[in-house]
Amino acid sequence: MEGIIKANIKIMKINKIKIYDSKIVFGKDGMLGDDFVKRIMSYKEKLREVEETPLEEIINDFNKDMYPDIELSIWEHIAEKYEQLTQSQPSLDIVGKNEVFKKLLLESFGK
């Protein structure tokens, strides 16, 4: 099982995001806009089994981030790849899903 996970993760590389193309996304009074929060909720839903940080804490962290759009793009990409991998392997249990998530996180750091 682990060999299948490793093989599939190597195929799905995380794209690099150019920081200089980024825009700082702040709404009123330094708060994130509604559309941005909806995007956070969307990726969070995809990772609900393996990422347990409370939504409120995640939103607060994005509010403090200097480049929240870059961070959100990374998380959206991780969530998309996680969803693809777990749907392609429906027999994965929670341990396998956590392993997929961990490997995707490491890939996002270039490791």
Query: What are the tens digits of pLDDT across the range 40-96?
Result: 999 999 999 999 999 999 999 998 888 899 999 999 999 999 999 999 999 999 999
Alpha helices in the chain (DSSP H): 2-11, 34-46, 55-64, 68-88, 94-108
Which amino acid is located at 66 in the chain?
A: M
Joined tokens for residue 76: 């959206």
Q: What is the CA radius of gyration of the chain?
A: 15
Confidence bin at 6 (pLDDT 50/70/90): low
Residues 70 and 22: beta-carbon distance below 8 Å: yes
Residues 103 and 5: beta-carbon distance below 8 Å: yes
